Chains A and B, each alone.
Chain A
Amino acid sequence: MKAKSNKINKTASINKISATPVISEKITYPKTIGTFLKNSLIMLFIVGIIVIGLDFNGLFDSSEINYHSKRTWEEFYTFTKDKEIDVLLLGNSHIYTGINPQGLSTSLGVNSFIISAPGTHLGDVYFNFKEALRRCNPKVVVVETYAIKDFDPYVLDGSELSDQIKSFVSRKNFWLKFISTPFLFSPTNYLFAWSSLLRNHSFIFTDPAQIKSNANKINTIVPAPGEEYKLGKFIRFVSGLEPETLKKYDELGSPVNGQDFKYSNYTKHYLEKIESLALKNNIKLVFLTLPMYKKHIDNYELWKIELNSLIDDKKYAWLDLQDKYDEFKFDENSFENTYEANQHMTYAGSIAASYALAAFLRNDLKIPLPQRFLENKWLEIFYGKDSYFENCSVLSNDALGKSLVRNTQYGNLYVKEIVSYNRRENHVLLVKIDKNLIDESFLSSKKLMITANANVNGETNRYNIELFKDPAWNPLEHHLYFHFSTDLEVLEVIDVFLTN
């Protein structure tokens, strides 16, 4: 009955409309506007499809040479297809130059990986952490404190914005990128963050060669099968501070003053979010402060007080290597040769910092970590590569390395292993002396020598060879001595001894 009544009303109303010219106008009026809106939407759709098509095609992508964060994420996704990550390191350029993940992994026998992007902040760190957790389940996450700074994601411009966009673009999870967009950028930059065409349209005039190489798909950074994993490492600096730069510290003073350090409310907000994300996933959160050259910063104690108001060291695990500068023997070789405020670490510095971090995680925090060094997958990644022999034993004498001596007492020295291997046209000899059985201060006043049969230019003779100790290399279990030579290759060790 009700349905019938509605039907009648409807019919009446249609009749009324058709009979009344005024109301008839009401029908045509929105139709014209509607046509315009419909056409506008179709046009917007066509333009959108063209833009998305060009973006999808990568025609306006920027050069991927030195595109560290993109390479890192590509490798991260490849790595985590079948491998777990135990120690995840997060931060900006300071961490990828200041920590050697191979060194950290081989000294702890775990998988560690750095996810970082140059010039970014704690907000970026949080979203990187979030995306990484979709692919791995680390036991520890290490956040480098240079990312803790005075930032406001909504006022970024110039190189800071460019760095943030590069980091954002590198991430691969569409949904996480989508939901993080309003937190990382001001609305003005949303489209720039998502579209390489909008960002790089000027390549038409400034870099047509890049468009050409994009069109020919020359541009690829996906790691090739079997390629050595970088694990987020980027060795940018191999030599330390030079005399000219060192002179500036005496003449001009420190370029960085601890009293200038500030952090924003955004920093505090994202720190809390990182903390709760770690807590929720049962991950130990550790903060790491990588050092600058000791004369590079003045009033570090003021920086530390400010940082401490955020990272309460009673609440959080915090390894402050600026504070422990002398303990870990950082020197001018540990730092990038620059007087600019933003000073990174060299490869040597990163080795020292990695050992300090490894010791902090294992000895101070006593975090139970898996023993992956027993797994074939782990050995496939690390065996014979950067830092492996310095930390771990040779498994079988092969082209990668030879164990010349193992667990042998020479006088008062207990030698765990003597390893010979070739690296970059050098014959390298490593002598590992058990840390537990000899005092370091005693060793430091002596020279370590070996007597060995060695091959020089095809002739074998007996030589006394002096080894040296690099303060950067400080494995957890043993003292490490080196000898490098391009022509002398040790074949057999006769004796190991100390002299004055």
Chain B
Amino acid sequence: MIFNSIDFGIFFIIVFLLNTFVFNKNLKYRNIFLLVVSYFFYGWWDWRFLILIFFSSMLDFFLGKKIDEEQNPVNRKWLLAVSLGINLGLLGFFKYAGFFVESFTAAFTFFGFPIKSYAINIILPVGISFYTFQTLSYTWDIYKRQLKPNHDVLRFLAFVSFFPQLVAGPIERASHLLPQFDSIKKINYQQLRSGFLLMAVGFFKKIVIADRLARFVDPAFADYDQLAGYSAIIAILFFTLQLYFDFSAYSNIAIGCGRMLGFELSLNFNKPYLSTSFSDFWRRWHISLSSWFKDYVYIPLGGNKSGKFFTIRNFLIVFLLSGLWHGASWNFVLWGLFNGLFLIILDPFINKFNKFTLGKLFAGIIVFSCWALSLVLFRTSNFEQSKIIYSQIFIISSKTIDSYGLSIKELNFTFTILIFYFILEWIELNFSSLSDWLFKRNLLLRWAVYILIILSIIILGSYGSEMNDKQFIYFQF
């Protein structure tokens, strides 16, 4: 079930009403209810993989308890290793088996030992990368004695499978989300209102902006060998924006849904395209993943405490793993490597001049451009395609800009709405929260804004009976 579908609309209204009026009075029933609806939400896609999420959750629930009870450091380490091994093993099998087999075959062939490989077709369970990281952080935190294990299996299962964030994050830490399953928090009007507004903004970003950008990006990248000049630049720019609007829209909707059910999820995006350095960017982009890698990979490796060489090594490991987390292909590994190198090489240079306004603007442009260029690797299916696109950026295109799915009129509209959106983000970054400002206005203005957002989605949205509900990009990870 995806957020921008009628199925989800009906599902969420029913869940919201039942949670609010029936189940939110008794903790046990509320948790059972949320577990059931979350499994229903996940099973809507493919019920067979419920077994996997159930197994993964139960394993970490019991290992978490065992690690906490165990006093022998060696045994504790072994128990943690079992948790890491099985979770990463499942992730590796479902996500990376095909990639590793292909890579080994290619390597052996390269060194003159051609071997026959068998194509492995494994369905990637939706959200496996997200919930695996979530449960891993649970056992790790217990191992580090930073968290006490949860002794109520229902709460734990509900925490792992909580449907708003199950398939595409934010990747919640047990220390933040799990306690919210330990008590009932009364839902108030303000929470509902802000949750609703977040969801509306999320739907606007997804349906009006991201899916419209996709209508240019998809045919443009499919035509990669003809994609050149300004068409290529616009395709790269649009994909960069599509990725942000698509993923941040999902996060908005997830946080909004959670809030309407009485839960606070973590912030996942904080205006990343207004960043003025690469380190700033990674503090704003997919925050729940970046901070996960920081806490569970970068810091355990030594962080920046062991000298320049090890700091650089640690950064590169984090970025290579982050690339691999996004997808099982060398393109993602390269994408991670490039971003690691940007951070290591360019940030010291950028940090020298991003102290004043014009310098900040220049820094912002450099960060955005490097990030956008790296996303060619993210969007194409192999390095050959990326190479072709990179090599054709400065060639004059034989195709007009309206050859790829959007008319000039619609392109103008898209540019206008993007400029308008980023002006709002800039205002919010430099002045105050727009939602807080809105909630203080009079009823007429508030309602006018709400209705305008809803009508904009209906009238200006990029959807239709002949289009399939477009999936969120981050579902594939």
Contact = CB atoms under 8 A, between A and B. Distances in A.
Interface of A: 29-30, 32-33, 35-36, 40, 43, 46-47, 50-51, 157-158, 161-162, 165, 187-192, 197-199, 201-202, 204-206, 208
A46 B6 contact: no
A188 B5 contact: yes
Interface stretch (B47-55, B154-162, B181-189): B181-189
B447 interface: yes
A161 B459 contact: no
Interface string B168-206: 000000000000000000111100110010000000000
B460 interface: yes
Interface string B64-90: 000000000000000000000000000
Interface string B300-313: 00000000000000
A447 B452 CA distance: 77
A162 B467 CA distance: 11
A43 B464 CA distance: 23
A187 B7 contact: yes
Given A40-B196, A47-B458, A51-B458, A161 B451 contact: no
A165 B465 contact: yes
Interface string B454-467: 11001111101110
B465 A36 contact: no
Interface of B: 5-7, 10, 20-21, 186-189, 192-193, 196, 407, 409-410, 413, 447, 450-451, 454-455, 458-462, 464-466, 468-469
A51 B21 CA distance: 30
Contact of A43 (B20, B447, B460): B447
Contacts of B5: 188
B401 to A, nearest CB: 15
Q: Is the interface of B mostly helix, strand, loop or mixed?
A: helix
Given A43-B454, A205-B410, A29 B186 contact: yes
A206 B405 CA distance: 11
Given A161-B465, A199-B464, A206-B407, A33 B20 contact: yes
Given A46-B451, A202-B464, A36 B6 contact: no
B196 A189 contact: no
A204 B460 contact: yes
B253 to A, nearest CB: 16
Given A161-B465, A165-B465, A205-B409, A197 B189 contact: no
A188 B7 contact: yes
Contacts of B407: 205-206
B6 A191 contact: yes
A202 B189 CA distance: 35
Given A191-B6, A205-B407, A205-B413, A199 B192 contact: no
Instruction: Please indicate which of the listed interface residues B5, B407, B409, B458 has the most CB atoms of chain A within 10 Å of its own CB.
Output: B458
B204 to A, nearest CB: 14
Given A33-B20, A43-B454, A205-B413, A199 B465 contact: yes
Ranked nearest first, the 7 interchain pairs of A and B with the lowest CB-CB distance are A192-B465, A32-B189, A205-B410, A36-B192, A201-B459, A188-B6, A205-B409
Contacts of A36: 189, 192-193, 196
A3 B318 CA distance: 76
B466 A201 contact: no
Contacts of B21: 30, 33
Given A162-B466, A187-B7, 11 more contacts: A33-B20, A33-B189, A43-B447, A43-B454, A157-B466, A162-B465, A190-B6, A192-B465, A201-B464, A205-B413, A206-B407
Contacts of B464: 192, 199, 201-202
A294 to B, nearest CB: 36
17 contacts: A32-B192, A33-B20, A36-B192, A36-B193, A36-B196, A47-B451, A47-B455, A161-B466, A162-B465, A162-B466, A190-B6, A197-B458, A198-B465, A201-B461, A205-B409, A205-B410, A206-B407
A46 B452 CA distance: 11
Contacts of B187: 33
Given A33-B189, A36-B189, A189-B465, A201 B460 contact: yes
A268 to B, nearest CB: 27
Contact of B192 (A33, A46, A197, A205): A33
Nearest to B407: A205
B400 to A, nearest CB: 17
Contacts of B6: 187-188, 190-191
Given A201-B459, A204-B459, A32 B188 contact: yes
Contacts of B192: 32-33, 36
A30 B20 CA distance: 9
A35 B20 CA distance: 13
B384 to A, nearest CB: 32
A192 B463 CA distance: 11
A372 B5 CA distance: 54
A189 B464 CA distance: 9
B138 to A, nearest CB: 32
Contact of A198 (B196, B458, B469): B458
B160 to A, nearest CB: 28
Contacts of A30: 21
Given A32-B189, A33-B187, A197 B447 contact: no
Contacts of B458: 47, 51, 197-198, 201
A487 B459 CA distance: 59
A201 B463 CA distance: 9
Nearest to A47: B454
Contacts of A205: 407, 409-410, 413
Nearest to A187: B6
A47 B413 CA distance: 23
Contacts of B469: 188
A212 B462 CA distance: 21
Nearest to B408: A205
A466 B339 CA distance: 88
Instruction: Please indicate which of the listed interface residues B461, B464, B465 has the most CB atoms of chain A within 10 Å of its own CB.
Output: B465
Contact of A35 (B189, B450, B465): B189
A206 B461 CA distance: 13
Instruction: Please indicate which of the listed interface residues A36, A189, A201 has the most CB atoms of chain B within 10 Å of its own CB.
Output: A36
Contacts of A158: 466
A170 to B, nearest CB: 16
A46 B468 CA distance: 28
B9 to A, nearest CB: 10
Contacts of A187: 6-7, 10
Contacts of B196: 36, 40
Given A191-B6, A198-B458, A157 B468 contact: yes
A189 B469 CA distance: 11
A158 B20 CA distance: 39
A50 B189 contact: no
A188 B7 CA distance: 7
Contacts of A40: 196
B459 A197 contact: yes
B188 to A, nearest CB: 5
